[in-house]
């Protein structure tokens, strides 16, 4: 399976083509729509005021409710656009956005309106593609869950067991410990009040992947496959498996996961490896954490320059922006993980 | 350019095929050999006592000292092998090694001797391939440097400027602050004395990559490309760009890199982004850190089980193992980074 | 550059996503439309009576008239559909169509209406993608031309020089010798009158590709790249470069192309190799011929069977079908060739 | 599965790396060697006098006789080399060889000795890889057979049933009709006597591939996949499926393959489609024919030029060359077909 996302924030439509979808899957479009709703803004005061009526239209690949195996194209029309908000910034790239790098890469032909193809809005088709992947995985009793693990230094409590994530999925603010969630929301609202933004992290688990998928080699190892999908999500700057950066504080005797054989099969007592040894799944849940940078769009004045003259210029970004994209990124990370899991499984 | 690494720790030879090498490059084989020496054990008491006389033989792709553009195959013979050390562990997988996952993946046909294809020894051909990549990059004034940034909680001092890494390259223990390096070495020796191992981290920079390479899309974004190469290095469990996991403690106003225009061109005052915005290079050094887990091979007794009977079994791993692979992994990470940089540049 | 075509004959729309389009190309949409018109039916009495108002809509990847380098999505709405024509054939696959093979591949979930994703209609987005490729090639003074070389045994005269193809491009029935073209049209009309169809061939040339592109290796050799694009055109069953099947009647002394050095550079006196030696372009025009099978949809009664019961069944195909698809396939083959040339050139 | 062939005719060794080999296959190395013997020269007076003692060495990927799933590297040492034969031609490219195109592609750094990486000798590792593929296919009751279908205009009799190819496999000169084979050999010997060469064709069949593999789309259609493998064989200039170029002389009523349902399952009475409809296997044997150009190396004087001065130069090619490579190409085409079949089957 292979996905191609297309579209720009202020173009006529955004969408995705999924090639290699298994045939004869009863596609539940309501579930696709439900995933898009999880990502939609406006459900929590911490999110942007933009209203994104993301309704997905299937253009191809489905017949009489089932996937045909032909490329599956899903499209979302663009509607709520305020292009004028952006015109002012055409020649003054926003710090830490893709504006400048994109301007160079496009040889000046960048669609700058609303971030163009770099917009976080492009994660909507990714969520739609991931929703299809989740349904394919569900047929094999594999599911993907996640929680917000950190925002601006406020950490959710540690996860005892990935099974806990099932209860988190339906929450408006998906954390294990709601008190911690409330602290996180306060941190976001404070940043918003100060015209600033905050970063955070999401911990994700893929449950039910059998042992033996992947390989140590380039292009086939599980961590490498997942990371390629995860870094394709805008704002992701770190991908950590299992104990992750914590390994550099550990000894082998702590880090190693002792085997245990139970009725359910071979497992390990701990899961510091995050379900992967030697690039291959070991049957334990695949667990990883991604860090997302603070939204670069802040209202505070910032230092930029004029792309035409090279002269310094101070900018202030108008428009409606999420002071923290982490809450809305939760279904996006799950979508990327679901697509990665399909690749690992050879789907 | 695309590489395929082949071989097993105790097979006749290991090697690599590099396809798509630019033609007419004057290949400096001494430099390839020099990179292999940086990776070789035995140069520091913290490393394994195994002696690896890794001499590379070019089988193809070079004629009269120049690359021809045809696939470049480099082979290293295997010599110093103690297969009997491993026979005892054939049916009792070592915790947190690839043994069990690999046993399942290979349907039982795993070459278990010395870790087989999963052995850290397979990083030798990777270093050789990376040495070729470095020479290609050097023609474009791009170079790759790195330092050990952490071992068992001992952190090297923060890097002021990636240019500093030039002075680190020649050190036997490559750190910025040699006093910290000495602490790290002590931590390794203590672990070794206690039949244990320790993890750590390497910070790496690629200097000289112009702005405008990459794309936000899956398969083409810079972080995604680098991470795929980096996670293909055994023991790497986390890949963090720029401020990395630190972003989840930051506000946008701290995290954003203000632009500055100097005689050298457009840059940013800070480099929290690690040289990448929107998946595209922005002209600043590409900076990232990888975390490597502690060597899973420790002499302390560990809990395993018998692959044939499923019964619990305690194991003790004999043989000679690095109590910390981080020092030897430095040129390996640089090799992976050099190959990744070539892909980003469309080489 | 990479294309993904999606859609079904009787779905809401068909389209294509082109990834890796060079940025800052002034895209001439009129020319894209003009290529689609070359492919449209109804311009000649030998073609089907279906009217395909193929108007292309750009959904993404173009801003202010220029390509941005982001994925370029073009969509064509479906309008003129007679699904009822096909319902009768749902369970009785048409001989030599994709119906049966597609039924198995889709596990029964085949969109059978109008051929679904197998429909010749899906060549419209291919032509649109090829029109973009042609504009990219034109910037490098590379152009693609072709003529109908055979229909039902009537052969066009031999091409003296690929430059001749420039004058053929505008013809309603693109042949070098119009008298031969008239014979071909008669052959088509006779087949049509007898409720039958005929096959034929198209010879195509790509002019202006410099020497030195490609490689002998799998995945990189010029003939292999072109053939993959050409066989993706429905009905193509043979791809022959240069003297093609004629080589099996030749001696080396006839087949070899003697070199000649002129003011224009190094060339060969003949071009039996079709511009490729050892999988690499030699600077001569790339010349190849493809054979297209007769349209399998004929009104004559044919032997089929019932997919549900396995019982024999005679079918008669209603609906409007081209008695020969070769004339309409001319711009399709050129489109495939243009996309292949881009890959060969590393675009 | 993916193969990378490396090596040059006069380098130390040639070889192949096969990635993605299914694990736990009992690899029969004698059979690999037997395929190499089928390709070896010297078994028939029509072949070159060079002696190629092609003994394959497995460097990796096999343990205790079974494939491990890790990359499988096979190497063949080079021994019988007469580099001096070639020195004379260093600056005067041989017509219709890869010399000139390769010189440009390599920016002058071409290994010209014995054709270097372009040598027909590089088909030996391809045969070895194909021999592994054949063993994988045999586990699924799929086999590949072929016969010489034409040499210099002498045609073998038409194949009634691909099953006939089983009896051809063991022949020194593999044709269906030995009398025709004798005529072909005479044609070769005459050409040899006149210091010339001849071209020909090979018809190949893959038996036992079930219906439903492949897709109409680019990169996934069966003809496209096969053609990419087949054109990677040096000297192949045409690939024709089923009735091939004959389709341009046919009507739909002749070309269409009527269905028939027998005890063995669904099939067709004829197999003009060569086992593929809509890019998908239909369960019938995959049948295709490839045309191979006459060996460009002939002893007759030919027109070339000096790469350094651009001046015309007449050349005479010394050395030992096959006056017709078709007989030795038979196992090579089968190897390419076997590898292609694996890709089609998703192996």
Alpha-carbon gap, residue B282 to D293, rounded angstroms = 50
Q: B295 and chain A: CB distance < 8 Å anywhere?
A: yes
**CA nearest to B98, candidates B82, B79, B114, B80:** B114
SS3 A344: helix
Confidence grade of residue C251 (pLDDT, cut at 50, 70, 90): very high
The interface pTM score, or ipTM, of the predicted complex is 0.96
Contact call for C17 and A23, based on CB within 8 A? no
Cα–Cα nearest to B23, from D111, D21, C62, C172: D111
The one-character DSSP state at C247 is G
What are the pLDDT digits (tens) for C218-246? 999 999 999 999 999 999 999 999 999 99
Q: Which of residues 131-170 of B touch A (CB under 8 A)?
A: 150-153
User: What is the predicted pLDDT for the residue at A302?
Assistant: 94
On the question of pLDDT at D50 being above 80, the answer is no
Mean pLDDT of all residues in B149-173: 95
pLDDT of residue C33: 96
The answer to whether A53 contacts chain D (CB < 8 Å) is no
Which residues in chain C have Cβ-Cβ distances shorter than 8 Å to A73? 6-7, 15
CA distance D133 to D137: 6
Residue numbers in D near C305 (CB within 8 A): 259-261, 266
Report the C-alpha gap between B106 and D69 in whole angstroms. Answer: 6
B271 close to A (CB below 8 A): no
Put simply, whether B301 touches A (Cβ < 8 Å) is: no
From C74's Cα to the closest Cα of chain B, the distance in A is 18
Residue-wise pLDDT tens digits, B28-81 = 999 999 999 999 876 665 666 555 568 999 999 999 999 999 999 999 999 866
Q: Does D79 touch chain B (CB under 8 A)?
A: no
Please report residues of A whose CB lies closer than 8 A to that of B276: 101
Tally C-beta pairs within 8 A across C and D.
366
Nearest chain A Cα distance for residue D72, angstroms: 13
The reply to whether residue B258 touches residue A311, judged by beta carbons under 8 angstroms, is no
For residue C314, give the 3-state DSSP assignment: strand
pLDDT tens, position by position, D271-328: 999 999 999 999 999 999 999 999 999 999 999 999 999 999 999 988 778 899 999 9
Whether the pLDDT of residue D46 is over 80: the answer is no
Helices (H), chain D: 29-39, 84-87, 99-105, 123-138, 165-168, 178-193, 222-231, 252-255, 326-344
Q: Split chain A (347 residues) into runs of 10 and give each run's mean pLDDT.
A: 96 97 97 93 61 84 97 92 72 95 96 92 97 98 98 97 93 96 97 96 98 97 98 98 98 97 93 98 98 95 94 87 94 98 97
Chains adjacent to B (≥3 CB pairs closer than 8 angstroms): A, C, D
Nearest to B124 by CA among B14, B29, B10: B14
Please state, rounded to an integer, the average pLDDT across all residues of chain D. Answer: 94
Mean pLDDT of chain B: 94
Quick check: B306 contacting A, CB < 8 Å?
A: no
**Three-state DSSP state, B308:** coil
- Nearest by CB to residue B217, choosing from C19, C215, C220, is C19
Contact D269 C293 (CB under 8 A): no
Contact (CB, 8 A) for B204 and B290: yes
Distance CA B346, CA B209 (A): 12
pLDDT at A170: 86
- For residue D217, give the nearest of A71, A215, A346 by CB distance: A71
Using CA atoms, how far apart are residues A116 and D174, in angstroms rounded to an integer? Answer: 62
Find out whether C268 and C259 touch, Cβ atoms under 8 Å. yes
Q: Confidence band (pLDDT; 50, 70, 90) for C40?
A: confident
Please give the pLDDT value at position B43.
60
User: What are the tokens at C192?
Assistant: 């049509």
Per-residue pLDDT at C85 exceeds 70: no
Q: Do B252 and A297 touch (CB under 8 A)?
A: yes
Distance from CA of D220 to the nearest CA of A (A): 9
- Closest residue to C111, CB basis, from A63, A73, A75: A63
Name every chain D residue with its beta carbon within 8 A of the beta carbon of C262. none
pLDDT at residue B306 greater than cutoff 80: yes
CB contacts of A260 in chain B (<8 Å) are 303, 305, 312
3-class DSSP assignment, residue B88: coil
Spell out which residues of chain D touch residue A217, defining contact as CB-CB under 8 Å. 19, 70-71
Give the number of other CB atoms < 10 A from CB of residue D294: 32
What pLDDT score does B88 carry?
78
3-state secondary structure C213-226: CECCCCCCCHHHHH
Residue B237 has pLDDT above 80, yes or no: yes
pLDDT score, position C49: 54
Contact A70 D19 (CB under 8 A): no
Give yes or no for residue D170 having a pLDDT over 90: no
Give the total residue count for chain B.
347
CA distance C270 to chain A (A): 41
Question: Exposure of B77 by Cβ count < 10 A (0-12 exposed, 13-18 middle, 19+ buried)?
Answer: middle
Size of interface B-C (CB pairs under 8 A): 13
Q: Do A69 and D19 lie within an 8 Å CB cutoff?
A: no
Average pLDDT, chain C: 94
Which chain C residues have a beta carbon less than 8 Å from that of A116?
A: 63, 68, 70
Chain C residues in contact with B20 (beta carbon < 8 A): 220
Mutate to test the interface with A, among C17, C61, C113, C126 (most CBs of A within 10 A): C17
Beta strands in chain B (DSSP E): 2-7, 13-19, 56-60, 62-63, 66-67, 72-77, 143-151, 154-155, 200-207, 236-241, 259-262, 265-268, 276-277, 280-281, 286-292, 302-305, 312-315
| CB proximity B69 to C under 8 Å | yes
Q: Name the residue facing C245 among D228, D261, D291 (closest C-beta).
A: D291
- DSSP sequence for A68-109: -SS-EEEEEE-----THHHHTTTTSPPTTSSHHHHHHHTTT-
Q: How far apart are CA B135 and CA B66, in angstroms?
A: 12
β partners of residue D13: D77
Asked if the C-beta of C321 comes within 8 angstroms of chain D's C-beta atoms, the answer is no
**CB neighbourhood size of A55 (10 A):** 11
Interface with chain C: mutation pick from B2, B4, B17, B19, highest number of C CBs within 10 Å: B19
A64: closest CA of chain C, how far (Å): 8
Give the one of A72, A105, A111 whose C-beta lies nearest to C63's C-beta: A111
Q: Does D347 touch chain A (CB under 8 A)?
A: no
C-alpha to C-alpha distances, B143 to B286, D250, D288, nearest whole angstrom: 11, 62, 50
Task: Quote the tokens at residue B11.
Answer: 């097979």
Nearest to A222 by CA among D172, C336, C111, B231: B231
Task: For residue B68, list chain D residues with Cβ-Cβ distance below 8 A.
Answer: 8, 106, 109-111, 116-117
Cβ <8 Å between C70 and A14? no
Interface contact D20, partner B, CB < 8 A: no
Chain C nearest-CA distance from D69, in A, is 22
Do A294 and B247 count as a contact with CB atoms less than 8 A apart? Answer: yes
Cβ-Cβ contacts under 8 Å between A and B: the total is 365
Interface of B with C in 101-130 (CB under 8 A): none
Determine, for residues A5 and B218 on separate chains, whether the beta-carbon distance falls below 8 Å.
Answer: yes
Q: And the tokens for C140?
A: 């490098």
CB contact under 8 Å between C69 and B19, yes or no, is: no
Kindly give the residue spans of alpha helices, DSSP state H, lying in D107-210.
Answer: 123-138, 165-168, 178-193
Q: Give contacts of A69 with chain D, Cβ < 8 Å.
A: 215
In the predicted structure, residue C198 carries a pLDDT above the cut 80: yes
Confidence band for D80, pLDDT divided at 50, 70 and 90: low
CA atoms within 13 A on the CB side of B205: 24
Mapped onto helix, strand or coil, the DSSP state of residue B182 is helix
Query: pLDDT category, D84, cuts 50, 70, 90?
Result: low
Quick one: average pLDDT of C30-43? Answer: 88
Question: Which of C20, C23, C279, C343 would you mutate first to test chain B, the one with the most B CBs within 10 A?
Answer: C20
Please check whether residue B251 is in contact with residue A191, taking contact to mean a CB–CB distance below 8 angstroms: yes
- What percentage of chain B carries pLDDT values higher than 70? 95
User: Which of B59, B66, B69 has the CB atom closest to D12's CB atom?
Assistant: B59
């Amino acid at each position: 399976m292979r996905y191609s996302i297309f579209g720009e924030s202020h173009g006529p439509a955004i969408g995705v083509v999924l090639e290699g979808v298994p045939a004869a899957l009863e596609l539940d479009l309501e579930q696709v729509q439900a995933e898009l709703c999880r990502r939609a803004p406006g459900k929590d005061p911490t999110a942007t005021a933009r209203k994104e009526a993301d309704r997905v239209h299937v253009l191809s690949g489905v017949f009489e409710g089932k996937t045909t195996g032909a490329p599956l194209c899903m499209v979302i029309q663009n509607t709520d656009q305020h292009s004028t908000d952006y015109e002012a910034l055409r020649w003054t790239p926003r710090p830490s956005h893709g504006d400048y790098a994109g301007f160079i890469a496009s040889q000046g032909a960048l669609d700058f309106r609303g971030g163009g193809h770099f917009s976080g809005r492009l994660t909507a088709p990714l969520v739609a593609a991931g929703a299809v992947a989740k349904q394919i995985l569900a047929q094999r009793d594999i599911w993907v869950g996640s929680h917000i693990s950190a925002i601006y230094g406020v950490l959710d409590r540690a996860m005892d067991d990935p099974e806990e994530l099932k209860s988190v999925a339906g929450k408006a603010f998906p954390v294990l410990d709601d008190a911690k969630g409330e602290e996180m929301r306060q941190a976001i609202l404070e940043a918003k009040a100060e015209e600033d933004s905050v970063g955070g992290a999401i911990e994700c688990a893929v449950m039910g992947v059998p042992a033996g998928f992947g390989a140590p080699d380039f292009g086939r190892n599980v961590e490498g496959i997942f990371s390629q999908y995860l870094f394709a999500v805008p704002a992701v700057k770190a991908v950590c498996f299992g104990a992750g950066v914590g390994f550099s504080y550990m000894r082998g005797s702590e880090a190693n996961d002792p085997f245990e054989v139970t009725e359910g099969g071979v497992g390990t007592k701990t899961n510091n490896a995050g379900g992967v040894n030697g690039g291959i799944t070991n049957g334990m849940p695949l667990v990883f954490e991604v860090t997302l940078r603070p939204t670069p769009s802040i209202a505070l004045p910032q230092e930029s320059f004029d792309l035409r003259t090279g002269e310094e210029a101070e900018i202030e970004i108008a428009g409606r922006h999420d002071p923290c994209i982490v809450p809305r990124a939760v279904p996006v990370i799950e979508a990327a993980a679901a697509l990665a899991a399909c690749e690992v499984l050879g789907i």
